[in-house]
Chain A
Amino acid sequence: MAADLERLRQEICRREEELSELKQRLADMEKKSVEDASDGTEPKTIHNGNQKLTNDQIGRYSRQLILPELGVKGQVKLLSSKVLIVGAGGLGCPAAIYLAAAGVGKIGIVDYDEVEISNLHRQILHTEHRVGVSKAESVAISCRNLNSSLNFITHKVQLSSDNAMSIIRDYDIVLDATDNVATRYLLNDACVLAGKPLVSGSALRFEGQLTVYNHKGGPCYRCLYPKPPPPETVTNCSDGGVLGVVPGIIGCYQALEAIKIAADIGTPLNQRLMLFDAIDCTTRTIKLRGRQVLCPVCGDNPSMTQLIDYEQFCGARATDKDQEKKVLPASSRMTAKEYQTLLENGIEHVLLDVRLPVEMEICHLPHPALNIPINTVKKDPSALVEQIKRQLASSGIPLDTSPVVVVCRRGNDSQLAVQLLHDSNLNIRDIRGGLHAWARDVDSLFPVY
């Protein structure tokens, strides 16, 4: 049954890709036949008295063509413009679909990653049966379904110092729809070196930020933030959470800014930073300082004339995926299976869960737990040690023999907690890999978030 389901999913996926390819071929041939016709005796565009747009294009874009600000002139510019979207996620999806709808002639999508089920609440161009498919490809398929007349290029690579310049070179405008600090500095520097405007969006929890860097005398990312933040102060969507519509709104704004720049209309958001707060539905726009003459990359005498090692510069990997930390020695850790044995043997212990209460509500281990979030542990570890000792004493259990077991979602915060509570006389260990390991190695029905 499960194998049948999987087979069917793969089949749907395969055919969808096939269909997408056929549509691209059809679009290419249609385009070619129009071009061929205009070389011959009966140009398809002659009847509308407009040499610049085909009848199909006039029909499709009519509702925006009649905007005086855009008009035929603006639409022609859009059709001949080339926009690169870096990141096919929560920001990239809405941005891509609106750029495709508006008729941006060439749309490039960079993403090395594959679709996961936990992406779908915000990465709205992917689908359930495309789980496991390339995100860049998935975005291209969805956009092609909306507008097959455009040219979609997928770059299924991780943007790096080695490939960034050659990828960006072919485009006029770049959208930063990435999810990590290192790639943001890389993209900024590459856009400055290549002389391209960078429409930057970001989102976390209920907040979004939007600006246009390196455009019309405005600053670049480094002009505002010369130093990368300490890695431990950076929260990603996986740990901090994000309401899907928030990157959705910011991604739409990114498409809007890119369209304005491409069509050369309106006032772009250069040298201004828009802050969006979804929980109160407020926006603020901050007037920024201009390009800094002393900026190492966009200044008058830049010290950086080529791309550097951004993971080293930021002290963090160029991904938003959580890395497994190794803080504790093996002797201070136990496996999920070992904890299962401890439970089965009925060994008295204190279970300390250092996740947030909201996470406890999602799922928790079968043994009653003391729930103290890691940030509370950090504030006053010695008070917690006393609390644990009292709890052990009230159960009449000797301190040194009975274990204190610390658990969290992935086994990173639990290590920090063990370290913080270390100087006591407690026999304290954490569960390696946290609840993810519990679900993987002990209880396959345990939910994973």
Chain B
Amino acid sequence: MDRVKVKLLFFAKSREIVGKKEADFEFASCTTSVSILEKLIEEYPELSVIAENVVLSLNEEYLELDNQELTLQAGDELAIIPPISGG
């Protein structure tokens, strides 16, 4: 199966947990958003505490969490966006 390198962008709490803002990560090019989230948590198990409280976006578009097939391209940007509540 084809694998592609995707750029992960961590924001807010996910940045704090993972300890970095960006990382490269390989996914199967043919996948689903649910599977993407699962793979993310496999790689960064500490993210599991906020897994239900994040917005995911792919190339700056909201990524609906479902089992629909989606095709990733090399260089795609996947953002993990928990809400910030401070002010």
Interface residues of A (CB under 8 A from B): 87, 89-92, 177-181, 184, 201-204, 207-209, 221, 224-225, 227-230, 232-237, 240, 242, 247, 250, 273, 275, 277, 284-289, 320
Contacts and interface: CB of A to CB of B under 8 A. Distances in A.
A224 B21 CA distance: 22
A90 B83 contact: no
Interface stretch (B29-37, B51-59, B68-76): B51-59
A181 B62 CA distance: 22
A180 B84 CA distance: 9
B55 A224 contact: yes
B83 A242 contact: no
Contact of B60 (A229, A235, A240, A284): A284
Given A225-B55, A229-B50, A289-B64, A275 B81 contact: yes
28 contacts: A92-B87, A178-B87, A202-B84, A202-B87, A203-B84, A203-B86, A204-B12, A204-B84, A204-B85, A207-B15, A208-B84, A224-B83, A225-B83, A227-B53, A228-B53, A230-B49, A230-B50, A232-B49, A233-B49, A233-B82, A235-B86, A240-B16, A240-B86, A247-B87, A273-B55, A284-B60, A286-B55, A286-B62
B86 A179 contact: yes
Contacts of B79: 275, 284, 286
A285 B60 contact: yes
Interface size class of B (residues with CB under 8 A): 20 to 34
B5 interface: no
What 10 pairs across the A-B complex have the smallest Cβ distances?
A202-B84, A229-B53, A91-B87, A204-B86, A237-B86, A289-B62, A286-B57, A181-B85, A179-B87, A287-B61
A229 B84 contact: no
B81 A201 contact: no
B62 A225 contact: no
Interface in B1-49: 9, 11-13, 15-16, 21, 49
Central interface residue in B12, B50, B82, by most chain A CB within 10 Å: B12
Contacts of A320: 86
Contacts of A232: 49
B82 to A, nearest CB: 7
Nearest to B9: A284
Nearest to B55: A224
A8 B53 CA distance: 49
B86 A177 contact: no
B9 to A, nearest CB: 8
B86 A287 contact: no
